[in-house]
Copies of this chain bind each other. A is one copy, B any other.
Amino acid sequence: MLPLGLPDTVREALLAPLVDHHCDAVRRDELSRAQYELLIGGGVPAPPGTTHFDTPVGVAVRRWCAPVLDLPPHAPPAVYLARRAELGAAEANGRLLRAAGVAAFLVDTGTEDDDLLPAAEMARQGGAAADEIVRVEQVEHDVAEMACSSADYLEGLAEELAARAAGAVGLSTVAGHLHGLDFDAARPSRGSVIAAAGRRLADPKEPLADPVALRHLLWTAVDVARERGLPLQLHAGAGPDAGHAAPHRTDPALLTGFLRALQPAGVPVILLHCYPFHRQAAHLAAAYPHVHVDVGRALTRTGAGAWRVVDELLELAPFHKQLFGSGCSGVAETAHLGAVAFRRALGRALMERLEAGEWSAADAARVAYMIGSGNARRVYRL
């Protein structure tokens, strides 16, 4: 799986158990081909006459997951899905999660769905530990559905976030997908928040899109994170869902003002995914002591192309600010593919630096451990 010629110490560092610091839950049920294609295709059906297997992630599934299910690499889609069904979802998921070689999954509890594998079960099947990352929009949704008044909503939000955070290792937000990252950085005024709460309660089942309510949620999450010493994950970059904010509104550079406003709070921030704006994210990680970065879901989505994304992040991001995360979601394959892409991509980047005489093997091994697990252990205090 790794480039030939890598020194043993570097190889060992790359193959060591990872901390996957950002996973979404994956499906536990049996999936039809149509369902499977939707899950690897961002929720949109492929046009007539085409298939989502003709995408970077589709090719990667056939290449890297087929052998985990005892098939030869590049098995045809129908053969792959038939074998997956034959093994059953539980067996397939277990194999794929274990193949990822992950010591700990930090699972984002963004979506509640009986068809999703709970974090504890994901850990058990993957032979790993699991910790929880609280998706603040999910908490907000629960609170909005229950609240009877603006005061109730605002009080409930702070309380429920604190309560959920008590059992978690971090918080996450998808404000970038729901609204875009071009929001006003300042904490909103009390008056505007009360008005926003009133608007929110008029339609609590809708995804939260009101910019004032979102900013209030973010700043409440910052308060909770500061009190508990937890980091905050911010989704950035083009969301895979066609309903998400337009890509140019998800450039993490748009967060600059918010990141500056956050700096005194001492809350570590991790910019997630970021593609195709990962160079901007790397700059932010270099410029601000509390900012970290991963390329998460881009590892899986770009498949064979992930090496360049990882290498571009290495251009500027301090090595102590980069974290491995698979950004897995939908199917267990993505957890495995994220780990494979990360190890192969970082292996190629390190191999090039070694061959060019730019780096020493000792540094290469050390940095592989840092990005693969060490930085996450430090930032999340695992």
Nearest-neighbor residue (CB-CB) of A42 within chain B: B287
21 contacts between A and B (CB under 8 A): A44-B288, A46-B320, A49-B378, A50-B321, A52-B318, A54-B318, A55-B286, A59-B358, A74-B363, A238-B253, A238-B280, A238-B283, A238-B287, A246-B254, A247-B284, A276-B283, A286-B301, A303-B358, A304-B358, A305-B312, A306-B315
Minimum Cβ distance to chain B for residue A282 (Å) = 8
A202 near B: Cβ within 8 Å?
no
Residues of B within 8 A of A246 (CB): 253-254, 256-257
Q: Is A241 an interface residue (CB 8 A)?
A: yes
Q: Are A253 and B247 in contact (CB under 8 A)?
A: yes
Task: Give the complex CA separation of A370 and B51 in angstroms.
Answer: 13
CA distance in complex: A308, B305 (Å): 11
A156 at the interface (CB under 8 A from B): no
Q: Is A205's CB within 8 Å of the partner chain B?
A: no
A353 contacts partner chain B, Cβ-Cβ < 8 Å: yes
Choose from B54, B286, B302, B312 the contact partner of A320 (Cβ within 8 Å). Answer: B54
Closest 6 CB pairs of A and B: A246-B256, A305-B315, A276-B279, A50-B320, A304-B358, A247-B253
Which residues on B sit within 8 Å (CB–CB) of A286? Answer: 41-42, 55, 240, 301
A253 and B312 alpha carbons, distance in the complex (Å) = 21
A320 & B59 in contact (Cβ 8 Å cutoff): no
* A289 interface contact, C-beta 8 A: yes
Given A238-B280, A247-B253, A248-B254, A56-B316 contact (CB < 8 Å): yes
Residues from chain B with Cβ under 8 Å of A362 in the complex: 74
- Annotate A353-369 by CB proximity to B: 1 below 8 A, 0 otherwise: 10011111011000100
Residues of B within 8 A of A306 (CB): 315
Which residue of B is nearest A313, CB measured? B305
Q: Are the C-beta atoms of B260 and A59 separated by less than 8 Å?
A: no
Return the contact of A357 from the options B73, B276, B302 (Cβ within 8 A).
B73
Nearest residue in B to A181 (C-beta to C-beta)?
Answer: B248
What is the bound-complex CA distance between A248 and B259, given in angstroms?
14
Return the CB mask of A282-324 against B: 1 if under 8 Å, else 0. 0110111110000000000111111011011011101111000
A215 at the interface (CB under 8 A from B): no
Given contacts A288-B44, A320-B46, contact A304 B247 (CB under 8 A): no
A378 to B46: give the CA distance in the assembly, Å. Answer: 14
| A247 to B252 alpha-carbon distance, docked (Å) | 9
Does residue A264 face the partner (Cβ distance < 8 Å to B)? Answer: no
A50 touches B305 (CB 8 A): no
Q: Which residues of B contact A363 (CB under 8 A)?
A: 59, 74
- State whether the Cβ of A382 lies closer than 8 Å to any Cβ in chain B: no
Known: A54-B319, A59-B363, A357-B73. A280 touches B276 (CB 8 A): yes
- Residues 256-280 of A contacting B (Cβ, < 8 Å): 256-257, 260, 275-276, 279-280
- Chain B residues in 8 Å Cβ range of A238: 253, 280, 283, 287
B287/A242 in contact, CB under 8 A: yes
- Let me know if A84 is at the binding interface, CB within 8 A: no
A51 to B320, CA, bound (A): 8
Residues 35-60 of A at the B interface (beta carbon under 8 Å):
41-42, 44-47, 49-52, 54-56, 59-60
